[in-house]
Each structure stands twice: as C-alpha cells, then as structure tokens.
Amino acid sequence: MLKLLVPVDGSESANRAVDHLIDKLAWYKDGVEVHLLNVQHQLPYGGRVESVLGHEQVKQYHHDEGMAALKSAMQKLDAAKVKYHYHIGVGDEAETIARYARDKRCDQIVMGTRGMGSVSNLLLGSVATKVIHLAEVPVLLVK
C-alpha cells in the first residue's frame, strides 16, 4: 500500500491537489494510505506567549486553526469515501512537511503549487520549492 502525504492549508491550490488525488485513485492498484497534514506557524515570541496564555491555550489555538484549514480537504475525501489520517504540525511549513514524510515513511508528497501565503512566497520562495529540496521522496505538484 502506497503512503501519500497531502499537505493542505485550505487554499484553492491545496484543494486542487486533493481533487487530483481523488481523480487518480484508480491508478493505485494496491490502494493508498492518505495522510493530510496542516502546518501551523509558530506563534511569535514562542515561550513568552505560552507563559501568558498557557501551553494548552496555544495548543488549542493551533488545533482549531489546523482543523479549519483541513476542513475542505476532509469533506472532499469523505464525499469520495476515501479513508485518511489527519495531522496538525507546528513550525516551518517545508521542514515540517519533509520531516513528517520521512518519519511516517510516506512514499510520495502530493501538494499544490501555491498556498495561502502567496505574498510571503514572493519574498521567501515558495513552500513547494523548499519541499522539493528537502524531501527524500518524490513530490507531485498539482497546478
């Protein structure tokens, strides 16, 4: 069974990647194990924020924001009756995606070319480009 990691952020590009995966499921004769991953940004001033708000509040915030970003992808997979696992990570997007793929022994990463932060992509380089450089497995970019 092929393990596929699908990073999502709620963007149209991420939704197209999920749609592409659903459309191409017949290609995978042995079946697939789908892992959805949303990566949340670390809050500024890290430990200081946690010392004021509390670790559990920050954790709940990341969970709530992550679930909101995962919602459309989960709905699409549910409608297509595709089983999946979902995860929420915190940190640098590309590094977290590459690390997750390595740790979970995913066979491929399927992702959109542009996410929610298109302005930051212009300044810092796209997450997709960074994932291609950091990942140890093939990356399928869906335009």
Residues 6+ positions from 138 with CB-CB distance below 8 Å = 107, 108, 109
When mean pLDDT is compared across 8-22, 26-40, 72-86, 108-122, the lowest value belongs to: 108-122
Q: Which residues pair with 88 in a beta bridge?
A: 38
Question: What value does the mean pLDDT of the chain take?
Answer: 88
Q: How many CA atoms lie within 13 A of 81 on its CB side?
A: 0
What gap in Å lies between CA 28 and CA 67, rounded to an integer? 28
Predicted local distance difference test score (pLDDT) of residue 12: 93
Once rounded to an integer, what is the mean pLDDT over residues 114-123?
A: 54
Place of tokens 């069974």: 1
Predicted local distance difference test score (pLDDT) of residue 23: 96
What gap in Å lies between CA 142 and CA 21, rounded to an integer? 9
* Domains of the chain and any CATH numbers: 2-142 (3.40.50.620)
